[in-house]
Chains A and B, each alone.
Chain A
Amino acid sequence: MIWQELNEALVLPGIDAPSSDEVMRKVGGAFIREGYAKDSYVDALIAREKDFPTGLDIDGVGVAIPHTDVSHVIKQGVAIATLREPATFVQMGTDDETVGVSLVFMLCVIEPNEHLEQLKKIIAIIQDKKVLTAILGCKDPQSIIEIIKNKEESL
């Protein structure tokens, strides 16, 4: 279950990050501080996002799932952030369509096939607009974790 592994230090409601680069620095920085990622992680995220953008427009809610090569990762983890003001990301599968992102699920992935079930759950969570809207309304990490828990239990 994802919610059991969610570290409260990686759940960041209402951060100020006006650009995608700033999202990478703030959320990726939390991964580095908490020992999930190497110092190279943030630069690697920013570089990868330029080549392979991760913005998604989920029925009007802007979500991004930044992640990067396993070589920058120390251990598996998920970080969740909501943004005070949307940051512009390019949409995945395009090179010029943008989306204003309010919700970020950042991933530290080491061995994708071992974590397939986790990845599928995260994708199921971000496809549920009701869950996204509920997370956006949260002011503290614990209520976000509670929403993820309830959603996972329904999967």
Chain B
Amino acid sequence: MDHLAEPVGASRAAIQHHYDVDNDFYALWLDETRTYSCAMYEGEGDSLERAQARKLDYIARAAGARGARRVLDIGCGWGGLLTYLAREDDDSELVGLTLSREQRDYVEAVSRGRLDVRLEAWEAHQPSEPYDAIVSVGAFEHFARPDAAEQARVAGYRAFFTRCRQWLRPGGRMYLQTICYDRAERSQFPEFFRESVFPESDLPRPHEVLAAADRRFHLVELRNDAADYARTLLDWRTRLWARRREAAALVGEDVVRHFLKYLALSQVSFHTRTTGLLRLTLARADELLVAPPRGAEEAS
């Protein structure tokens, strides 16, 4: 069932602007799992396919999603991670949320009902039972609008973590992967991204993510793998460049030119550490933590 409530971050129209281009177009340059997020490379000669498989495995371990009975993927894209998990345990309940109709239709068709994919914003999600693991990869970038002040942005992120905590069973884990601003300030970032790549979306700074998760989750691991994203983007762009004529036949030359530019600018922004790539492993705070008693403060 569709939940038509508009999300707090980027609207459906804004998400569909980017992701509803054409599924066949993305298939030309993404790996076969259509994983549209940063991979995890090892060594010089590594391939995009192996790096994406390694990333899926890393996420499954980090979130404790391997063999888990109920898993939620917030911003599931073309379902790469849920499909990966479905092979591991056929009794599991794998739920994905996306705002892209093309993605939802694709996952429903290829999974033949195995995956429960919903055209639904996280704000509208109401699970029937708690989840054992929650993952969210490349969605957090869309949770704040560019005109929001820091306080409002963090409040929005905090609402997200509060809901995730409620949806997890005690002891459950969450994996979050998001692009962040690193060396650059918001004002120094190319307008091109906000105007024509991801309208209505804005990136967090690392401290905003941590502040928002604080007391809802314990931080288990935090990595900044900007170099991995630069390499992923180079691999995507090299593939798209090689197949640019086929791509133009599908979506037109202007769209291909736009994507080549966006992939190159994104790569450069990770290469120069203008942006970073955060991978967070979080453990549910089983008691909502409150300030320590006075005595503890004095002792420290």
Partners in one complex: no
